[in-house]
Amino acid sequence: MDNQKELMNERKKIIMDIVNSDAYVPMKAKELAIILNIPRENRDELLEVLDELLEEGKLSVSKKGKYGKPENNVLVGKFEGNARGFGFVVLEEEGEGEDIFISESDVNDALNGDRVLVTLKNSKVGRRREGQIVKVVEHAITEVVGTFQKSKNFGFVVPDNAKISKDIFVPIEKSKSAVNGHKVVVKITDYGKKNKNPEGVITEIIGHINDPGTDIMSIIKCLGIPVEYPEDVMKQVENVPDEVDGKDIAGRTDLRDVVMVTIDGEDAKDLDDAVSLVKKDNKYILGVHIADVSHYVTEKSYLDKEALRRGTSVYLVDRVIPMLPHKLSNGICSLNANVDRLALSCIMEIDEKGNVVSHKICESVIKVNKRMDYTTVNKIIEHNDEEAIADNKEYVQMFMEMNELALILRNKRHSRGSIDFDFPETKIILDEKGHPIEIKPYERNSATKLIEDFMLIANETVAEDYFWQELPFVYRTHDNPDSEKMLKLSTFINNFGYAIKGEQEIHPKELQKLLEKIAGTDEETLISRLTLRSMKQAKYTTQSTGHFGLATKYYCHFTSPIRRYPDLQIHRIIKENLQKGLTDKRIRHYESVLPEVADYSSKMERRADEAERETDKVKKVEYMEKHLGEVFEGVVSSITNWGMYVELPNTIEGMIRINDLLDDYYYYDEDKYELIGNETKRVFKLGQVVKVEVARTDKNLRQIDFKLYEEDSEEFNEEI
């Protein structure tokens, strides 16, 4: 390895000596090869050296492919395309400035997601620097999902991903007999040039655009989410038992006599957490019992590699794509009632102020007494429902004490500054053919909050324990917001008479106080959304740098190993530690593998989130197709240069384009987040209530267009 590196450095030095000589004029790779006496068959090695020098910014390459000294610094970043042909390069190195605008003529052969080299131009677009892509270092996309359109002698695929602005040309003999309207997967064989479209071959026909399920499967394929399990994984699954083997119980803490329940949604099938509670002398003994998935999914097995590849289960509107095959996720690893199950239990003694005064983490064997659902438990603790109480009389006291403890834990988190954005999630109800028949907000209730509170305290307790043991671990971290974003937020809220202290190093309690002050005001939606946008994204890391949103120094994901790989990963570490197996060699092993596990798991989580968002969008568009021309009341939820988004009470969001605001020419004031009429001075701002008419829908682009409704009519739909 060292010899290869030395050889590469020697070759780079030879080229740089030539380029830096006074007599050198920019040359193509072919000309450099002739000067260096490099035979044709070895020119790939020269290109490899030139690419490294480009990445290091020591060379630049012109549009004609000539290499020379970099007139401007060559920067490295990821290209983000736009449906209209232009795009932006997001730079890799921090401190290199904001994203760089790339006009359509300077995109060259880059596609969305590509790693590219970009040079700066002397011009700007608005406040942004402008650049040109000089080389694609690495293509991110090898396959594209889209709609096939057939011509007489050829076909082309219109990509579903609007960020890919070029259609993919497909020779007719490579179209797999696809017909107009087929959703297909096309493998790119040629990325094209500036004025030449990419070319590809169709490898799979997903189904016709009008077939049930094709819309969702297209999104799954587009994001590269695996659905089927490889054969070697399924062979391993065949050997997974249906029941707990008696020999696996040996050495475990036997908790089968402890009264415990699972509390989940009515349609949940992968039950990975059970809870128990006993109240004694003003202290609560809370048990959070988590399925011991790592007992069956052993390190480096086929199952383990596949679980890591998937990273997480994906929960979509019409299906679940599990991280683990159903025989595990719905079977031996699911904490079903009245059967023995292996678990990892975190048993905490909590005082009346919500402090965990002692705890124990152990390998256990459990037997859940009853499966409960959120609706029933909520009826008991919130509504004192006689029927629900009669059906569950032996557990009612425990549920009441659980709710008591949950409120204590919630208040403790609140007192330290934990931030709770209570934006409603979407619940989409489909018919048997996958068509949406109802869309409404999914509201949290006392039972869902109770389970959240118990999972949070277990995650905190485990994270703090392993932080102080100074062992390799995967934490769930949420970094402090950027001071610039906080300063911008502070400046904006001053217009409404609010203030936050310490923009440079803000405490989460300041944002919590702000959200409490704005509760119930006209500007609540506006400021809540801006506050959320000002915060960073949570991620998995190997260092415990704290969780800003929860206002805690220690946090991890311990409670869902059936559906999240980081939880499964730390279960292994915890069990090895409990069994005294964490030798220096094993510690070094985990120190080497965990950074990649954490980073990759964060990426897979974002992919799953995107799949959920996109499938929800598809069904929302399909739902609104039936309401064209109808009028509704909504709230302005976002404003951009090209228009404003309006959200309806059922969580559906659509756009009013600037071109559809016909009474004036409007411009976007990005400091105030407002659209302002040039002549009328009419202002649209975030949080403003408006009436809208459903103007257009486009299922392919997943877009709903509204237009402003301003007739003197009181007739509009309050609900959809």
For the chain, what percentages of helix, strand and coil (3-state, to nearest 5) are there?
35, 30, 40
CB atoms under 10 Å from CB of 14, counted, come to: 12
pLDDT attached to residue 124:
77
Q: In this structure, is residue 164 part of a structural domain?
A: yes
Residues 497 and 560 in one domain: no
Is residue 692, in this structure, part of any structural domain at all? Answer: yes
Q: What is the mean pLDDT of the chain?
A: 91
Q: Phi and psi at residue 53, in whole multiples of 5°?
A: -65, -35
Of the three residues 152, 180, 211, the one that is the final residue of a domain is 211
Does residue 275 carry a pLDDT above 50?
Answer: yes
The reply to whether 600 and 647 lie within a common domain is no
**Same domain? 360 vs 325:** yes
Quick: pLDDT tens for 50-109: 888 877 777 877 767 888 877 656 788 899 998 888 999 988 775 556 789 999 888 888
- At 402-427, the pLDDT tens digits run 999 999 999 999 999 999 877 778 99
- Domain CATH code at residue 181: 2.40.50.700
Q: Which of 20, 126, 3 is nearest to 68 (CA)?
A: 20
| C-alpha distances in Å from residue 337, one per residue of 263, 271, 359, 558, 645 | 11, 10, 25, 21, 46
Of 159-168, 341-350, 449-458, where does mean pLDDT reach its minimum?
159-168
Q: Do 337 and 462 share a domain, yes or no?
A: yes
Average pLDDT for 423-442: 90
* Percent share of the chain, pLDDT over 90: 65
Same domain, 444 and 524: no
Res. 715: pLDDT tops 70: no
Query: Containing domain of residue 42, as a range?
Result: 1-71
The tokens for 313 are 């289960």
Cα–Cα dist 183/214, whole Å: 7
Mean pLDDT, residues 501-517 taken together: 88
Per-residue model confidence (pLDDT) at position 713: 45
**Does the pLDDT of residue 366 top 90, yes or no?**
yes
The answer to the question of residue 545 being in a domain is no
128 within domain boundaries: no
Q: Based on the fold, state whether residues 371 and 470 are members of the same structural domain.
A: yes
Question: Do 521 and 681 form a contact (C-beta atoms < 8 A)?
Answer: no
CATH number at residue 38: 1.10.10.10
In a domain, 375, yes or no: yes
| Residue at a domain's end among 177, 211, 245 | 211
CA distances from 379 to 275, 375, 453, 588, 675 (A): 18, 6, 18, 50, 45
* Cβ atoms 712, 696 nearer than 8 A: no
Instruction: Provide the percentage of residues in the chain whose pLDDT is more than 70.
Output: 97
Q: Within this chain, do residues 357 and 454 fall inside the same structural domain, yes or no? A: yes
Query: Which is higher by pLDDT, 312 or 193?
Result: 312
Task: Identify the weakest region by mean pLDDT among 18-22, 95-99, 103-107, 172-176.
Answer: 95-99
What's the structural domain count of the chain? 5
- Pair 484, 471 in one domain: no
Q: What pLDDT is attached to residue 261?
A: 98
Q: Are residues 466 and 592 in the same domain?
A: yes
Residue 138 is assigned to a structural domain of this protein: no
The answer on 594 and 461 residing in a single domain is yes
DSSP state of 266: T
Q: Where are the alpha helices (DSSP H) in 384-443?
A: 386-391, 396-416
**Residue 670: CB atoms within 10 Å:** 13
Asked whether residue 275 is domain-assigned, the answer is yes
At residue 716 the predicted structure's pLDDT band, cuts being 50, 70 and 90, is very low
Q: Tens digit of pLDDT for each residue in 181-210? A: 999 999 999 998 777 899 999 999 999 998
Identify the domain boundary among 36, 71, 106: 71
Q: Are residues 238 and 331 in the same domain?
A: yes
Give me the mean pLDDT over the 99-120 stretch. 88
Kindly tell me if the per-residue pLDDT of 4 is higher than 80.
no
Q: Is residue 346 pLDDT above 60, yes or no?
A: yes
Instruction: Examine residue 543 and state whether it is found in any structural domain, yes or no.
Output: no
If asked whether residues 356 and 487 sit together in one domain, one would say no
Kindly report, residue by residue over 619-672, the tens digit of the pLDDT: 999 999 999 999 999 999 889 888 999 999 999 999 999 988 888 889 888 877
